[in-house]
Amino acid sequence: MRALFFDGREARVAERPQPPLAAGEVRVRMALAGICNTDLEITRGYLGFRGVLGHEGVGAVVEGPPAWRGRRVVAEINFACRGCETCARGLARHCPRRRVMGIAGADGAFAEELVVPVENLHAVPDPVGDEAAVFCEPLAAAYEVLEQVRVEPGQRCLVLGDGKLGLLVAQVLDTAGARVLALGRHPEKLAILARRGIETGLADARAETGFELVVEATGSAEGVRRAIAAVRPRGTLVLKSTLAEHPQLDLAPLVIHEVTLVGSRCGPFAPALAALASGAVDVRSLVSDRLPLARADAALRRAAEPGVLKVLVDCG
Amino acid sequence: MRALFFDGREARVAERPQPPLAAGEVRVRMALAGICNTDLEITRGYLGFRGVLGHEGVGAVVEGPPAWRGRRVVAEINFACRGCETCARGLARHCPRRRVMGIAGADGAFAEELVVPVENLHAVPDPVGDEAAVFCEPLAAAYEVLEQVRVEPGQRCLVLGDGKLGLLVAQVLDTAGARVLALGRHPEKLAILARRGIETGLADARAETGFELVVEATGSAEGVRRAIAAVRPRGTLVLKSTLAEHPQLDLAPLVIHEVTLVGSRCGPFAPALAALASGAVDVRSLVSDRLPLARADAALRRAAEPGVLKVLVDCG
């Protein structure tokens, strides 16, 4: 089969062997997959992954239990061992022995076929088209904030960063009834939120303070510093993006103001699918480009260009 | 009156005017005061404070409302405005207009007399001697951890740092039923905990991982890095000490493991006084030295020596 394979130095479209199917797994014929910043970081050496890239995708089950065959699905990306203490605690997404689709020890979604554990599958409701369903994984990551932090209706929340994740988090907080201010550096990206009635502003023009909840989604050291300055005493700061750099930080304000900082990663698929079905979150406006699998390497380069949001790869 | 005054360059014992008494304040004749690392940091320029140092003390009310006169007291150190939105939210310890005893805008405890708002007073129960009562403020800071974090009986907790604060936090977690491991670099300090049945170890000999709760009380960048490595997925890391340095940190593990980091500062006096009254926490073993107010500058130097724990100043 054809797939976007990263050999540790270069990501290129190549012919790969059909992945074998183990017990408890299904084979998915991929329809559409999305490029995430993590994919770009992996091609720069992050996490030392070798294999087929991609962890956001939608497809149809072609081999596996009869109940699943033919169904359109999305799949959670953490393949847990289901046998360790962490899994027993209900934290399968944190299983220390987990493989992660397209990120660690498991081939990913930029391929004609994908093999995943059956327990990772979620059926995609009919009203959710492929171009929406492909956002399920990053939207679930945005919903993770609501799993971790109590958001009161009317609560003032600040979202820093107008990349893909920031735009999704701002909308998710908005659907939860929060009064969101989203700050970024790209008027055309912020306009996606403004059309949903969310307050936006240019980050460099403002020095915000006094927020009960701040979500850092810039992935930059400066964003973290701004976030620390913006949160009010006893407030909460959610770190939503991983930083490749190791920033130098003054932690004293976290102690003096007794701030709670919450690291936040993968999230629940169910509320994400529900939001995609109801249209509560606009993901279509985030699509910058769509290329065929044969040009997936070009799609990666396109996704790395400034100002580009989501680049999709047609796998069918 | 005589007091230990810091003029921005040097801390020395000097004759100071008797502090005036405003409405709602009481005058306390100080008996005993304790030196905290924050006092040492202030003399190195931290926070830009000028005035009488000291924020840990016990004394007797000599002027103020009749109900308080003659009573032995300790006083909370944050003097809140009681009129702002933060105070209205019940967060007087975080009032943005607060003065802080011996730290910001208010003279402190290394003096013959101290003036504090009456609402900051706590009566000291008779069984609690001065040498125990003087630990109320730092012990309250240790109890703050229990206010912020749920600690289950039998829960494994790691305390990093065997300074004064680490020794108090380890004991407080122990009284809450946690199974505490305290790591430090001073066998003679760790022995104080071992005598209470708390497991201890030398930090450099161990690389701990997998703790649900980790309390960082070393005040060092290395301690913060060790703490991040030691906390398990979805676990909690309490930052108990302020760092003068700005450490370079890899924040990615906080995101990947969805760790909650909680900044922790001043705490509630009531449980601290109760623990001092019952003897649940050993503070006497933490006293390294006791000097008269006339030699308070020497006491500061003594407190800065390696291996020294609490140095007390006799103010009477």
B235-250: pLDDT as tens digits: 999 999 888 789 899 9
**Alpha-carbon distance B86 to nearest alpha carbon in chain A (angstroms):** 8
Nearby residues of B244 by Cβ (< 8 Å), 6 or more positions away: B41, B44, B46, B219
The answer to whether the CB atoms of A261 and B261 lie below 8 A apart is yes
- One-letter amino acid identity for B212? E
Residues of chain B with a CB closer than 8 angstroms to some CB in chain A: 86, 91, 94, 96, 144, 148, 224, 232-234, 239-243, 246-265
Residue A232's pLDDT is what? 96
- Residue entry with tokens 């007087």: B92
**In Å, how far are A79, A102, A274 from A123, measured between CA atoms?**
17, 20, 11
Radius of gyration for the alpha carbons in chain B, expressed in angstroms and rounded: 19
The partner residues of A218 in beta bridges, in order of sequence, read none
Residues of B in contact with A248 (CB under 8 A): 246-249
Burial (Cβ within 10 Å: 0-12, 13-18, ≥19) of residue B301: middle
Degrees to nearest 5, angle at CA B110 with B107 and B116: 40
The Cβ of residue B215 has, within 10 Å, a number of other Cβ atoms equal to 31
Q: How far apart are CA B41 and CA B300, in angstroms?
A: 11
**In Å, how far are A123, A295, A302 from A3, measured between CA atoms?**
24, 10, 18
The answer to whether the CB atoms of A94 and B257 lie below 8 A apart is yes
Residue A17's pLDDT is what? 95
Residue B181's pLDDT is what? 98
Give one DSSP letter per residue of B170-193, joined into a string. Answer: HHHHHHTT-EEEEEES-HHHHHHH
Q: Residue A229: which of A244, A249, A245 has the closest Cα?
A: A249
Residue A29's pLDDT is what? 98
Residue A191's pLDDT is what? 98
pLDDT band at B46 (very low <50, low <70, confident <90, very high): confident
Residue B80's pLDDT is what? 96
Q: How far apart are CA A35 and CA A165, in angstroms?
A: 12
The answer to whether the CB atoms of B242 and A252 lie below 8 A apart is yes
Nearby residues of A279 by Cβ (< 8 Å), 6 or more positions away: none
Mean pLDDT of chain B: 96
The answer to whether the CB atoms of A251 and B250 lie below 8 A apart is no
Q: How far apart are CA A87 and CA A263, in angstroms?
A: 19
Give one DSSP letter per residue of B203-262, joined into a string. Answer: GGG-----EEEEEE-S-SHHHHHHHHHHEEEEEEEEE-S--SS--B---HHHHHTT-EEE
Yes or no: say if B315 and B28 are a contact pair by the CB < 8 Å rule.
no
- One-letter amino acid identity for B276? L
CA quadruple A295, A298, A300, A301: dihedral, nearest 10: 180
Nearby residues of A165 by Cβ (< 8 Å), 6 or more positions away: A37, A138, A141, A142, A217, A240, A241
Residue B129's pLDDT is what? 97
Burial (Cβ within 10 Å: 0-12, 13-18, ≥19) of residue A253: middle
Residue A302's pLDDT is what? 98
Which of B144, B246, B258 comes nearest A249 by C-beta?
Answer: B246
Residues of B in contact with A243 (CB under 8 A): 251-252
For chain B, how many residues are written? Answer: 316
Which of A234, A246, A264 comes nearest B255 by C-beta?
Answer: A264
Q: How far apart are CA B273 and CA B279, in angstroms?
A: 10
Candidates A165, A260, A264, partner chain B, best to mutate (most B CBs within 10 A): A260
Yes or no: say if B102 and B76 are a contact pair by the CB < 8 Å rule.
no
Task: Say what the ipTM of the complex is.
Answer: 0.95
Q: Residue A303: which of A38, A50, A37 has the closest Cα?
A: A37
Which of B148, B246, B249 comes nearest A246 by C-beta?
Answer: B249
Residues of B in contact with A224 (CB under 8 A): 251
Long-range contacts of B94-99 (CB under 8 A, 24+ apart): B94/A233, B94/A234, B94/A257, B94/A258, B96/A233
Q: Residue B34: which of B303, B247, B228 has the closest Cα?
A: B303
The partner residues of B26 in beta bridges, in order of sequence, read B116
Which of B241, B254, B262 comes nearest A263 by C-beta?
Answer: B254
Which of A242, A249, A262 comes nearest B256 by C-beta?
Answer: A242
CB pairs < 8 Å spanning A and B: 108
Nearby residues of B197 by Cβ (< 8 Å), 6 or more positions away: B174
Yes or no: say if A52 and A33 are a contact pair by the CB < 8 Å rule.
no
Nearest CA in chain B to A242: B252
Residues of A in contact with B250 (CB under 8 A): 246
Residues of B in contact with A94 (CB under 8 A): 233-234, 257-258
Both tokens of residue A207?
């020095």
Both tokens of residue B165?
């604060």
**pLDDT for B47 beyond 90:** no
The answer to whether the CB atoms of A247 and B248 lie below 8 A apart is yes
The residue ranges of chain A whose pLDDT is under 70 are none
Yes or no: say if A127 and A38 are a contact pair by the CB < 8 Å rule.
no
The answer to whether the CB atoms of A251 and B239 lie below 8 A apart is yes
Beta sheet of A78-79, edge-to-edge order: A78-79, A99-101, A105-106
The partner residues of A214 in beta bridges, in order of sequence, read A158, A237
Q: How far apart are CA A250 and CA B180, in angstroms?
A: 28
Q: How far apart are CA A161 and CA A182, in angstroms?
A: 7
Residue B207's pLDDT is what? 85
What pLDDT digit, counting tens, does each position of B62-107 carry?
Answer: 999 999 999 999 999 999 999 999 999 999 999 999 999 999 999 9
Which of A94, A246, A250 comes nearest B250 by C-beta?
Answer: A246
Both tokens of residue B228?
């991040």
